[in-house]
Amino acid sequence: MDGSLNREAQDLLGSARALVEELAEEGVDRFDEVPAPAVTTAAPETSAPAATSRPAESEPTRGPVVERPAEPPPIFAEPAPLGLAFEATWGPNPTLDDVRTALGDCTRCKLHEKRRTIVFGDGNPDADLMFVGEGPGENEDAQGLPFVGRAGELLTQMIEKGLGIARADTYICNIVKCRPPENRTPLPNEVSTCRPYLDGQIDAVRPKVIVALGKPAASLLLGRDVPITRVRGTWHEYRGIPLMPTLHPAYVLRQYTQEVRRNVWNDLKAALERTRS
C-alpha cells in the first residue's frame, strides 16, 4: 500500500472508530439498526476542488459518476433541545457577548480536540439578515472567522455585488463553531451540543430574516431531514423569524450552472426584500 492510501485507510479507520464511540456514548449497541453513516465517497481530487468538499448534500452532482452511499441518517430530525440542560447563563434578551462568554473555551463535544479556533460568528450584532452555515472549514479554523475560504468568497460576493449590501451589515455564523475533521458533516451530538449557542446568537441578533445555507443548516432549523434542492426558495420560520433555506455556496461552486446561480440569487433577493417589507 503506498503512503497516501495508507493514510487514507487510517483516516477512514479513525472516523469509523469515532463514530462507533459516539454511537456507544449515545447508548446504541445494535449496529444493524443504525443507518449508514454520512460518508460520501470522495470524487477524484482533480474533479473536486478542496473548498467544495462540503456540503455533503443529497443533491445531484455533475461530471464523473460518484458512488454515493444510502441517504445519510436523518440526524437533524432530533427534537429541538430547547431548554436542554445547558448553561443558560443568559436571559431572554442576551447579547452576543453573553453567548460568547457562556461558550467559553468550549470542550463540550469532540470537535474541540482538533480545532484551532472557535469560529463564533461575524458581522453586525443588529443585522436584519443572518446567514447560518454548516461549520468552519480549514481557512475559518485558521482565521477564527466564518466563510473566509472559497465558499466564503462566493458568499461575500453574492452579498456585496449581488444584493448590494456590505457583508459587515449582515451576521454570519454556523450550526457548529468548531471545524469537523476533514470537513465532514457535523454529527448529531455535535450539532445538538452547539445548538443552544446558535439559538443564543439568533436571540441576540433578532434578525428580520435567517438564511440557512445548505442541507445541514436547513435541516436543523426546520427540525427534519430536508432535501435542500426541494425546500430552497420556500419560506419557513425559526424561533418566530422568517427562514429561507438556500443552497450552500460550496454547492454553487461545485454546480456552477446558470440554473443553480439563478436559484440562489432568487432566494437571496427574496430574503433581502423580506427584511425591507
Q: Quick check: 137 binds ligand URA (CB under 6 A)?
A: yes
- Its sign, for the CA torsion 198, 202, 204, 205, is positive
Q: Do β-strands 236-238 and 171-174 pair in parallel, antiparallel, or remain unpaired?
A: unpaired
Q: Quick check: 141 binds ligand URA (CB under 6 A)?
A: no
Site map 190..209 versus ligand URA, x via CB under 6 A: --------------------
89 with 195: CB under 8 angstroms? no
Give the CB-side neighbour count of residue 78, counting CA atoms within 13 A.
18
- Of the ranges 57-65, 95-103, 140-148, 259-267, which one interacts with ligand URA (CB under 6 A)? 140-148
The residue from 123, 136, 196, 242 that contacts ligand URA (CB under 6 A) is 136
Binders of ligand URA in range 26-55 (CB under 6 A): 54
- Residue position matching grid coordinates 448529531: 188
Q: Smallest distance, Å, CB 250 to ligand URA? A: 6
Q: Which of 6, 22, 59, 267 is nearest to 159 (CA)?
A: 267
Q: Quick check: 134 binds ligand URA (CB under 6 A)?
A: yes
Q: Quick check: 245 binds ligand URA (CB under 6 A)?
A: no
Residue 50 or 88 with smaller CB distance to ligand URA: 50
Q: Quick check: 147 binds ligand URA (CB under 6 A)?
A: yes
- Of the ranges 40-48, 129-137, 193-201, 260-268, which one interacts with ligand URA (CB under 6 A)? 129-137
Q: Quick check: 151 binds ligand URA (CB under 6 A)?
A: yes
Question: CA-CA-CA-CA torsion for 81, 85, 88, 89, nearest 10 degrees?
Answer: -170
Q: Quick check: 133 binds ligand URA (CB under 6 A)?
A: yes
Alpha helices in the chain (DSSP H): 3-25, 96-103, 138-143, 150-157, 188-205, 215-222, 228-231, 249-254, 258-276
Q: Which residue is nearest to ligand URA (CB)?
A: 133
- Is residue 7 exposed (0-12), middle (13-18) or buried (19+ Cβ within 10 Å)? exposed
Residue 181: cis peptide before it, omega within 30 degrees of 0: no
Q: Smallest distance, Å, CB 150 to ligand URA? A: 9
Beta bridge partners of 246: 213
Q: Quick check: 140 binds ligand URA (CB under 6 A)?
A: yes
Binding residues vs ligand URA (CB under 6 A):
54, 133-137, 140, 146-147, 149, 151-152, 174
